[in-house]
């Protein structure tokens, strides 16, 4: 073969190789474009040579963590970043990457906290994808983009906390800090919706006997103090799973999940005797009447009404007693 033909073939191969590389670069550039978002605090792209475990990235990513370029190792691996993850976010972040590498998820996408040089944490939003695999389908290269979303997350957390406080305020009685009337009904309806066969659910209505005399004799400030004390007595004498609410005025309601009538009766008697014992030697002589009903069908209103009827039976029978 002539020398000039060899030169032509070599030139053709070089051109073909350049075209292939150019096509690959265009594909990777297109992938980068898909990973770009019009967000603030863009910390740039990252690239991961997976077999070599070598990560290249925009210096802004580590500058945001408080490091200078001189403090960054020459060759940075994946663990340089994962070692700085918040303990509560580590497993989630590693799982997100594992799911993408295994093909379970089309992209790697996660929000996590990462430790800065001074020990604080910043919130990052990280998104990436495999850009190249070998002929067996194993990952070769990944590319991604990362954003500092600390301000956004802090605002979000602040809003969530405010909403939580607001929800507590709208569902809590301001005086006793127990659930209020509306919240009690909402909770009871939820229990009835989830009520399973062969499980017992009880409701008790409790009403302070002759409480009007306390307000008339000692004033409403003293009356409010008594209601606060009664709520604490109920807390001390109920179980963790029991739900107490101030139903209105001097009336209280207790929901007893997965509880027999007999066990609910024991709890109510414990409350009744604790109140009697506390106030029998004080200037405020106070007792309480209780009515308990075991759920046998009907609405939440029917359920509460049945317990209310039994509470009035206790009143008519002489007060300071429990009727089941």
Active site residue 23: no
Residue 184, C-beta contacts closer than 8 angstroms, at least 6 positions apart:
243, 245, 247, 253, 255
Q: Which two tokens stand for residue 155?
A: 């605002």
Instruction: For the beta carbon of residue 123, count every other beta carbon within 10 angstroms.
Output: 21
- In a 3-state reduction of DSSP, which class is residue 202? strand
Question: Which has the closest alpha carbon to 185: 101, 258, 260, 246?
Answer: 246
Beta bridge partners, 244, equal: 254
Residues in the chain: 324
Q: What is the DSSP string of 256-298?
A: ETT--HHHHHHHHHHHHHHHHHHHTTSSS---EEEEEEE--SS
For residue 127, how far is the Cα from the chain centroid? 23
CA angle 198, 201, 205 (to 5 degrees): 160
Which residues fall within 8 angstroms of residue 64, CB to CB, at 6 or more apart? 41, 43, 116, 122, 148
SS3 163: helix
Active-site position among 30, 250, 269, 276: 250
Which residues are identified as catalytic? 250
């Amino acid at each position: 073969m002539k020398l000039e033909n060899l030169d032509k073939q070599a030139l053709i191969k070089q051109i073909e190789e350049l075209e292939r590389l150019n096509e690959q670069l265009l594909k990777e550039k297109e992938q980068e474009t898909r990973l770009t978002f019009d967000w603030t605090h863009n910390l740039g792209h990252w690239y991961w040579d997976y077999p070599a475990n070598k990560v290249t990235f925009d210096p802004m990513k580590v500058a945001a963590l408080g490091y200078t370029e001189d403090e960054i190792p020459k060759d940075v691996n994946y663990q340089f970043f994962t070692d700085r993850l918040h303990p509560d976010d580590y497993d989630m972040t590693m799982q997100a990457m594992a799911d993408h590498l295994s093909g379970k998820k089309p992209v790697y996408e996660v929000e996590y906290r990462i430790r800065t040089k001074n020990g604080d944490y910043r919130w990052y939003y990280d998104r990436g994808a495999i850009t190249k695999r070998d002929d067996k389908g194993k990952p070769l290269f990944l590319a991604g983009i990362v954003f500092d979303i600390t301000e956004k997350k802090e605002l979000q957390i602040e809003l969530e906390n405010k909403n939580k406080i607001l929800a507590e305020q709208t569902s809590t009685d301001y005086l006793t800090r127990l659930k209020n009337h509306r919240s009690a009904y909402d909770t009871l309806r939820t229990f009835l919706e989830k009520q399973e066969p062969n499980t017992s659910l009880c409701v008790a209505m409790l009403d302070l006997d002759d409480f009007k005399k306390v307000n008339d004799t000692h004033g409403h400030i003293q009356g409010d103090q008594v209601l606060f004390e009664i709520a604490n007595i109920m807390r001390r004498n109920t179980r963790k799973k029991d739900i107490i609410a101030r139903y209105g005025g001097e009336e209280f309601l207790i929901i007893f999940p997965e509880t027999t009538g007999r066990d609910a009766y024991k709890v109510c008697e414990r409350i009744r005797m604790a109140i009697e014992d506390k106030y029998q030697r004080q200037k405020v002589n106070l007792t309480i009447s209780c009515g308990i009903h075991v759920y046998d069908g009907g609405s939440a209103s029917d359920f509460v009404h049945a317990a209310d009827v039994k509470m009035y039976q206790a009143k008519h029978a002489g007060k300071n007693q429990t009727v089941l």
